[in-house]
Amino acid sequence: MPADRWEAPSPCDDWTARDVVQHIIDNHATFERFVGRDLGDIPSTADDPAGAFAAAGLAASASRAVGEDSVPFAACYIGLRILLFLLYLRAYRHVPEARPNIRVYFASTGAGALLWGVSLLLPEPARYVLWALGVLVDMAGPFVATRLTGNVPLHLEHLPERFGLFVILVLGESIAAVVTGLHESHWKIDSLIVAALGFTVAAALWWSHFDLGGAAAKRQLVVRGGQQISVEHDAYVFAHLPITLGLAAAGVGIEHFVVHPVGELSASAQWPLYGGVATYLLGTTALLIATTRDWRAGWPWPGAAVPVILLLGVFTSIPPMLSTAAVTGLVVATVLAGIRKQRQGALETTET
């Protein structure tokens, strides 16, 4: 639908086309909650009605995407890529200086969507192989565009701000995990102690990103990357993938430990916390090294903490409360080491 038609009247009295789409999404979310599922954070119809509808479909089918809902999941993903392609087309018309880069994005977005489209014709697991190839093609687009044409001006305040908001949203899941765990455990004293430790882990991860690692990467983005597209900008973007994945996994792990503070926890229930924190620290290490092009920027801080946290995960027989305390101590120590490095001038930061 053309952008200027979303406010057009619908057959429903006093409702615009935008209102109808929002109503469908809201009702879909309500019925999903009845069966214990949540659509999560999706775009608002006030900003992007079509994108919101497609994202809602993705969220609704995500839990069974590798299974019975693989077709609707893929169809919604293709819909989002088509919308992105149309947005690139609009940018191509109105931002002439960006056209060399946008041509690359046309190719990567179109090829990725095509692979996902062909996957609908194939059985499992070949379908999932094409999904992976489509994602890889999409991810290759920015790197190719950077190498071919690096003369497009950037809004350097906008890029860190967007990713900072994304990190905040994912960190919020850790706080939600603490709340959910306490609710499910009925505020038992053991769970309350583990919840306090889990909250401390989330707060320390927030500090390490927004006052240390992320703040240092932002400064390097401005100093080394400048106002034109560069490899540093691509590295900044893609390094946030393990950072946010790690934070999300850590939130899941925190909830497991809060619900089972003294009982037996399987290795699969424990590893989201260990693996999540380790993945986050590894992502922060990669972020610092990539934006400075110097491995010493990420070693020994914070990279040295990664093998230590992974080593903790080997000892699955340790009581959950003690394990959580050990993870908390390690993360807090990592933050303190980062502050020390910052005060010594070895870690130059800026506000995020």
**Distance from C-alpha of 346 to C-alpha of 162, rounded to nearest angstrom:** 26
Which class for 343: exposed (0-12), middle (13-18), buried (19 or more C-beta within 10 A)? exposed
In a domain, 351, yes or no: no
Q: Are residues 16 and 144 in the same domain?
A: yes
Assess whether 323 and 207 both reside in one domain: yes
Domain stop point among 97, 127, 148 = 148
- Shared domain check, 271 and 165: yes
* Cβ-Cβ contacts under 8 Å for 215 (sequence gap 6 or more): 349, 350, 351, 352
CA atoms of 278 and 135, how far apart (whole Å):
24
Q: Is residue 205 part of a domain?
A: yes
Query: Whole domain around residue 129: which residue ranges?
Result: 3-148
198 and 303 together in one domain: yes
On whether residue 299 sits in a domain, the answer given is: yes
User: Same structural domain for residues 164 and 102?
Assistant: no
Q: How many domains does the chain have?
A: 2
pTM of the predicted protein model: 0.74
- Nearest Cα neighbor of 22 from 7, 35, 34 is 7
Amino acid at 100: P
DSSP 91-115: HHHH-GGGHHHHHHHHHHHHHHHHH
Instruction: Spell out the per-residue pLDDT of the chain, length 352, in tens.
Output: 555 555 666 556 566 666 655 555 555 454 444 334 454 554 554 555 666 666 667 777 777 888 888 999 999 899 989 988 988 898 888 888 788 888 999 999 999 999 999 999 999 889 999 999 999 999 888 888 877 765 666 666 677 888 888 899 899 888 988 998 898 888 899 999 999 999 999 999 999 999 999 999 988 877 765 555 567 777 888 899 999 999 999 999 999 999 988 877 888 889 999 999 999 999 999 999 988 888 999 999 999 999 999 998 888 778 889 999 999 999 999 999 999 999 999 898 876 6
Assigned domain for 350 exists: no
Domain boundary among 87, 114, 148: 148
Collapsing DSSP to helix, strand or coil, 228 comes out as strand
CA distances from 191 to 178, 231, 235, 265, 315 (A): 9, 45, 39, 14, 21
Q: Are residues 208 and 63 in the same domain?
A: no
Mark whether 135 and 171 lie in a shared domain.
Answer: no
